[in-house]
A and B are shown apart, each in its own frame.
Chain A
Amino acid sequence: MGDAVLLDRPDPEAGEAAWDGYLHLRDNPAGVTRDLWHHEAGCGAWLVVTRNTVTHAVEGAELAEAAAREGQA
């Protein structure tokens, strides 16, 4: 469902560059990345999954809600 940067929604007045970065620009690493997954056919939970985009190895997963609370704390 997209890169985990989507967790960090900029302030509405943060300006063009911040919003362009939030919605469009991506590091797009060939390696470890954090992305968002949604358990759509199940409990509806959003997850932040730490994954390697080259090997597909999953290194970790946490509830997006937990990650979001931490980020906003």
Chain B
Amino acid sequence: MRFSALKILREGLSGNRGWTPHWRDPAPKAEYDAVIIGGGGHGLSTAYYLAKNHGMTNIAVLEKGYLGGGNVGRNTTIVRANYFLPGNSEFYSHSLKLWEGLEEDLNYNVMHSQRGLINLFHSDGQRDAFARRGNAMINQGDDAVLLDREGVRRMLPYLDFEQGRFPIHGGLYHPRGGTARHDAVAWGYARGADSRGVDLIQNCEVTGIDIEGGRVTGVQTSRGPIRAKKVGIVVAGRSGQVAAMAGMRLPIESHVLQAFVTEGLKPVIDHVVSFGMGHFYISQSDKGGLVFGGDLDFYASYAQRGNLPMVEHVMEAGMTLMPMIGKAKVLRSWGGIMDMTPDGSPIIDRTGVEGLYLDAGWCYGGFKAVPASGWCMAHLMATDRPHEAAAGFRLDRFRDGYGLMDEEGTGAQHNLH
């Protein structure tokens, strides 16, 4: 079914009875050409591009809960291409271009809003570090503008330029950065994949990975065994458990990241803003709530919830940066499971088992990567070779030290990225 204003008009005039399911609910077949473990943003986009770019439609996505129920359903919705290290730079650039054509491609309004993103800096040293980042973005062919204090003030007059503990020296402005509606992205890819014949199997937990002679032959699930010569593990924070089914240990630690939303308010923040001296970044959703978050709670966790010390730190950062949000009331807080790697950058690679592929390690930056991750993982699964935009995301890079992408510069401690 094709969505459009005309369709809404027609359905509205006839009692809205004609809307068809966004996706089918098929029973799992005994065998597929490829199986993707994980029905989140990346798993669904991988399925979509396997079908669309590579003509592989006899595939299934196995999701243990409901589609999009993991991190894609609980993030702060930021979309940007402002990474500066080679390996990351080309990947996120590719992703942003896919975002820019996404609604048309999926025939689904993911509400991608390129409202602009500003990273504030608070010292000359920080300015120079952001200058390097901005120049790297432009070298990559993306967009960046270095704003001085007055430039920031014109754009974001509500920041505290007088009383704040850390003065605002300026900001790195990324005009093409912005936000998108997270659920819509998952549903758009799901619908797109399903309409091309991909089986989306919900409430199907993978309990084992079958390997014979060093190659994958299928998976065991709560809904029965499924044979497949190609299996992709795309489960974010659960990567450790699923990889263990294949006898693998991964360079991943799972941590909790909290995020918050306020009650709906009339428009007051028109950009995505991030603070440079405390963990805090904020935007305003199209429903009016201020959506914001900070850093990890720092302890390994699968609980999908965090504790008050980080909650208060995030609120404090918000208040020192933009005291006008004080009277906005936090409506809801939540947490996700972040798959943290030793350099803070992801993995899209083959594993030691033939036919078994891994897409993981997105830390807390996976949402913006949904399109390119799927694109590249699909390429990898279909051709058994990495896509050039993701060539840097090797599983072995920690072992041999080539191509580490440590954007934060904090080194091999998973929770410091």
Contacts and interface: CB of A to CB of B under 8 A. Distances in A.
Interface of A: 1-3, 16-17, 20-21, 23-30, 33, 35, 51, 53-56
A35 B303 CA distance: 16
B252 interface: yes
A28 B413 contact: no
A25 B249 contact: yes
B342 A24 contact: yes
Given A2-B413, A2-B415, A26 B240 contact: yes
Interface in B381-417: 398-400, 412-415
Given A26-B240, A27-B240, A53-B302, A2 B250 contact: no
B253 interface: yes
B254 interface: yes
Given A2-B415, A53-B254, A27 B249 contact: yes
Contacts of A1: 413
Interface of B: 238-241, 244, 249-254, 299-303, 342, 398-400, 412-415
Contacts of A55: 303
Contact of A23 (B238, B240, B252, B398): B398
Given A30-B241, A51-B300, 10 more contacts: A17-B399, A20-B399, A26-B240, A26-B414, A28-B252, A30-B240, A51-B299, A53-B254, A54-B302, A54-B303
Contacts of B250: 25-26, 28
Contacts of A16: 399-400
Interface centre among A3, A28, A29, A33 (most CB of B within 10 A): A28
24 contacts: A1-B413, A2-B414, A16-B400, A17-B399, A20-B251, A20-B398, A20-B399, A21-B249, A23-B412, A24-B398, A24-B412, A25-B249, A27-B240, A27-B244, A27-B249, A28-B240, A28-B250, A28-B253, A30-B241, A53-B303, A54-B302, A54-B303, A55-B303, A56-B303
Contacts of B299: 35, 51
A19 to B, nearest CB: 8
B399 A24 contact: yes
A26 B302 contact: no
B405 to A, nearest CB: 14
